[in-house]
Amino acid sequence: MDPEDRTGDGYQAPPSYCRSSQTTRDSFHCRAGEGVFSQRAVLFGDFPELFAGSGEGGTARSWRERGDYDFGDWAVMVRELGEFDPVRCQEVLRWPLREALLCYMHRMQQQALIGWRHDTLVWSNIAPHSTKKVSPPKKPLILRTRPSSRDND
């Protein structure tokens, strides 16, 4: 019988990545951010839309972790890709970093497109009846940027 199996049903809980254990958290961060710093400049260049506010002259607000799991600097992306489901978030952590960034950028583009289309529809309904000239909404930056030449390789 497994000493960790306290219920006797044969189920063993997955390893915990909670903040409560310093050693677990350290090993978790090593897996989650593996190879990030060695490729930082390349990733900044390949995904400028995602890193615009990361201290490189951008204006994004910092994220404050509020959940039980600490995903470090990748918390926003991991939670978004895992749809805020802890089991899926742990699956996302096993993805290659470049694939996760591509998926996250695609989701951001889809959300920006939905918002821009909504704003354009509202503008098109209001503009003909406005006494002042109202400019149409600008296309979000993430929709105006072109993929880098590296994406075509």
Predicted confidence (pLDDT) per residue in 94-126, tens digit: 999 999 999 999 999 999 999 999 999 999 999
Looking at the domain assignment, is residue 12 inside a domain?
Answer: no
Looking at the domain assignment, is residue 10 inside a domain?
Answer: no
- Distance between CA atoms of residues 8 and 1, nearest Å: 8
Looking at the domain assignment, is residue 33 inside a domain?
Answer: yes
Looking at the domain assignment, is residue 76 inside a domain?
Answer: yes
pLDDT value at position 45? Answer: 74
Which of 107, 111, 112 lies closest to 144, judged by CA? 112
Looking at the domain assignment, is residue 4 inside a domain?
Answer: no
Looking at the domain assignment, is residue 3 inside a domain?
Answer: no
pLDDT value at position 83? Answer: 94
pLDDT value at position 53? Answer: 62
Looking at the domain assignment, is residue 1 inside a domain?
Answer: no
Residue 128 has pLDDT above 80, yes or no: yes
Place 80 in a pLDDT band, splitting at 50, 70 and 90. very high
3-state secondary structure of 90: helix
Kindly report whether the global pTM for this prediction surpasses the value 0.95.
no
82: tokens are: 């895992």
Q: Does 24 or 148 have the greater pLDDT score?
A: 148
Q: Does 98 or 149 have the greater pLDDT score?
A: 98
17: tokens are: 């990545």
50, 104 contact by CB (below 8 A): yes
C-alpha distances out from residue 29 to 18, 34, 62, 70, 94, Å: 11, 8, 18, 8, 12
- Distance between CA atoms of residues 5 and 140, nearest Å: 52
pLDDT value at position 82? Answer: 95
Amino acid type, 59: T
Structural domains counted in the chain:
1
Per residue in 1-51, pLDDT (tens digit) is: 444 545 455 544 444 444 444 444 444 444 455 555 667 777 777 777 777
Looking at the domain assignment, is residue 27 inside a domain?
Answer: yes
pLDDT value at position 38? Answer: 65
Supply the range of the domain harboring residue 34: 22-152
